[in-house]
Amino acid sequence: GENVEQHPSTLSVQEGDSAVIKCTYSDSASNYFPWYKQELGKRPQLIIDIRSNVGEKKDQRIAVTLNKTAKHFSLHITETQPEDSAVYFCAARQTGANNLFFGTGTRLTVIP
């Protein structure tokens, strides 16, 4: 199966600064990479995703980059706000499969 590693496990930034979370995956056949945000006591919510035929995708303050050769992808949050504080999970899905393999999560704290 797929193995997804995520770093760092915790990240603290000052409000207004940028945050970067990185993930690596093991199966070169994986072709779909979503990012989820989970606030305390709530369900994971999809915030952005990228497919293997695209190198970068942006949605307002959030962007994801994918390096297929190196098998890693990253989440970038610019101009962070206190409401960005949450646990973020990356995931990967193998070609032809339906289930997602999740990273271990990053607890992001944005300090006002």
Partner 1 sequence: SAVISQKPSRDICQRGTSLTIQCQVDSQVTMMFWYRQQPGQSLTLIATANQGSEATYESGFVIDKFPISRPNLTFSTLTVSNMSPEDSSIYLCSVEPQETQYFGPGTRLLVL
Which of 84-105 are b and which e, b meaning 16 or more Cβ less than 10 Å from the residue's Cβ? bbbbbbbbbbbeebeebbbbeb
Which of residues 38 and 78 has its CB atom nearest to partner 1 in the complex?
38
| Encoded tokens for 61 | 């303050």
Q: Is 46 a residue that touches partner 1 (CB under 8 A)?
A: yes
Q: Which stretch binds partner 1 (CB under 8 A): 21-29, 37-45, 55-63, 75-83?
A: 37-45
Interface with partner 1 by CB under 8 A: which residues? 1, 32, 34, 36, 42-46, 49, 89, 98-105
